[in-house]
Amino acid sequence: MRKILLIDDDETLAMLLKALLEQHGYDLHWGDRPSKGMALLKSVRPELLLLDVMLPEKNGFDVVKELREQGDTTPIIMLTARGAAPDRIGGLKLGADDYLAKPFDHLELVARVEAVLRRTPAAESPSNGLDRERRTLRLGGTEFALTSMEYRLLDALTSAPGRVYSRTELMGLLDEAGALESFDRAIDSHMSRLRNKIEADPRNPRHLMTSRGMGYRFQW
């Protein structure tokens, strides 16, 4: 599930959005104030931030400014009852990616989230990459040697980061040489072994992601 962080002091809204976004394949983490939210931003590493403007400690505009000055490029959608044009423009100028006035239609929020994520390029740091000559994977400065099957799986998945590949698609891409068994669950076994190799916590992967009922995707 793709991770989203919400910073908003409204617990009722947070619980509602958590249930809503989970229905659409997102994992929502919540901080009720900027200090907690900033800590979660570092530990969770979400793909998108939903940020209220009226917050305790400091307002959402200050949070956006601070993040962008620190070089953080996490996409941000601001949520606020202050829907006046100067507020919207101010948030966008500071570096927010979108702005949604409260109260908002829940399906519109989901559509805005999907739109922002679609136009946000997958981030690949210079220290990350698949070496096609040496057949190794580098993640965060650590290099992993790959078997032939592991390399072929990652070569397929990293060719389009964020795209979900079904087991059937992966079987088709990988079985040209007859290397896989004739049932798609073999992909799960290969993926499990690969997670055990490259993920710091295989039970909570950050790179080899499962899209429930659909397949697998890779994120740097």
Residue 82 is given by DSSP the state -
pTM given for the model:
0.57
CA gap 169, 156 in Å, rounded: 10
Quick check: 162 and 217 in contact, CB under 8 A? Answer: yes
Neighbour-count burial for 44-78, b at 16+ CB within 10 Å, e otherwise: bebbbbbbbbebeeebbbebbbebeeeeeebbbbb
What was the pLDDT predicted at 158?
83
Lowest mean pLDDT among 125-129, 203-207, 208-212: 125-129
| CA-based nearest residue to 110, from 5, 215, 7, 23 | 23
**Strands, E assignment, the chain:** 2-7, 26-31, 48-52, 76-80, 98-101, 129-131, 136-139, 142-145, 208-211, 215-218
Domains in the chain, CATH or no CATH each: 2-118 (3.40.50.2300), 129-218 (1.10.10.10)
pLDDT at 1 over 80: no
pLDDT (tens digit per residue) in 8-18: 999 999 999 99
What was the pLDDT predicted at 84?
62
pLDDT at 3 over 60: yes
Cis peptide before 56 (omega within 30 of 0): no
| DSSP-based three-state secondary structure for 166 | coil
CA distances to 67, 198, 215 from 28, in Å: 20, 24, 20
What was the pLDDT predicted at 188?
86
pLDDT (tens digit per residue) in 101-111: 888 898 899 99
What was the pLDDT predicted at 147?
82
pLDDT (tens digit per residue) in 110-141: 999 988 887 765 544 445 788 877 788 988 77
What was the pLDDT predicted at 85?
65
pLDDT (tens digit per residue) in 67-96: 998 888 889 999 987 656 677 777 888 889
pLDDT at 174 over 90: no
